[in-house]
Homo-oligomer: A and B are copies of this chain.
Amino acid sequence: MTVTLKGLRAFNTVLRYGSFTRAAGLLHITQPALTVQIRQLEAALGLRLLDRTPQGAEPTAAGRELARSLEPLLRELDHTVSSLQDLAARRRGAVRLAALPSVASGLLPGAMARLRATHPELRVRLHEAVTGQIYEMVRAEQVDLGIATDLAPGGELSVDPLFRDQILALLPPDHALAGLAAIPLARLAKERLLLLEPDSSIRRLVDEAFARTGRMVTPAQEAVHTGTLVGMARAGLGIALVPSTAAELRMAPELAARPLGPPGIRRMVGLVRRSGRSLPPAAEALAEALRAEAALLAPSGQPSGPPPAAPRRTGRPRPVPPQEG
């Protein structure tokens, strides 16, 4: 004989309604079943909790004592349960997210709008960082989820692909290279280059690509933020190499954006998570929103899209070229 939650709830109900029969109705069981449950609870405690009378049931002193402790206990348990169910239903919760700056400005806002539409109560706590830091934050459980370049970290981490990104060169429309649909690395090497700092994964990809052509890169200028590079490019300080999904590209509609290569410089951006660990429901919801948003960018899987439109010598706004060339 052991104390069960069902038994305690049954007792509480009988106590409140003063009758086995009525309580049984409310509990959606028959009166004999309830009688048995109460008997088992009494046996477990070794005490008579209710005195049965022809008019119903009323608590003994022990029953009243139990009820006094029990009611707050049940209330608190129910609160705990429903609070967890809120978590499960995404009515509550915060996602701790670490994301690349390019994603934070590009893909993320749309995903967050999507998330707000479906789960208005969820909050996102965003940390902008570079890929290595993102990996580390996910590993250390400082965040629930990361969005970073897929470097196949293995071990504790796994990366689910989200979208492909390519590096674009941002240059004045009247620049000699702007006439090309894609700019070979060899031609770029002689130009004044505006690059991100060496700890970003974009910069690493650029360095590696140049290394493969046997060249060292010596940037004319480095910056931490893509926006800074774009601003410098607009000021005519050189050619900026920036990820195609960065929203900062829209800051410079008057500049020409050209893919590199062939071969181009591409990377896979994905969701970084602890492998074998489940995501909190809120993080799961954000991940879904991110995947949905990413699907809009590259609707048909991993397409080999067309090269950018030929540059027109106008200052009119131009759509950002598709991400996948």
Contacts and interface: CB of A to CB of B under 8 A. Distances in A.
A48 B278 contact: yes
B81 A45 contact: yes
A53 interface: yes
Given A3-B81, A6-B4, A276-B53, A62 B87 contact: yes
Chain A contact residues: over half helix, strand or loop, or mixed?
A: helix
Contacts of A51: 276-278
Nearest to A45: B84
Given A5-B5, A70-B80, A45 B85 contact: yes
A314 interface: no
B87 A80 contact: no
A280 interface: yes
B81 A77 contact: no
Interface of A: 3-6, 8, 44-48, 51, 53, 60-62, 65-66, 69-70, 73, 76-77, 80-81, 84-85, 87-89, 144, 276-278, 280-281
Contacts of A277: 51, 60
B46 A89 contact: yes
A294 to B, nearest CB: 24
Q: Which 7 A-B pairs have the closest CB atoms?
A: A46-B88, A69-B80, A5-B5, A47-B88, A48-B278, A51-B277, A61-B280
A22 to B, nearest CB: 20
A5 B53 CA distance: 30
Given A51-B276, A73-B73, A85 B46 contact: yes
A53 B53 CA distance: 55
Contacts of A87: 47, 62, 65
A94 to B, nearest CB: 10
Given A45-B85, A62-B87, 5 more contacts: A46-B88, A47-B84, A62-B281, A69-B80, A73-B80
A87 B60 CA distance: 12
B60 A278 contact: yes
A44 B88 CA distance: 10
B45 A88 contact: yes
Given A65-B87, A66-B84, A87-B47, A60 B280 contact: yes
Given A6-B4, A47-B88, A278-B48, A73 B76 contact: yes
24 contacts: A3-B5, A3-B77, A3-B81, A4-B4, A4-B5, A5-B5, A45-B81, A45-B85, A45-B88, A46-B85, A46-B88, A47-B85, A47-B87, A47-B88, A47-B281, A48-B278, A51-B276, A53-B276, A60-B280, A61-B144, A62-B281, A66-B84, A70-B80, A73-B80
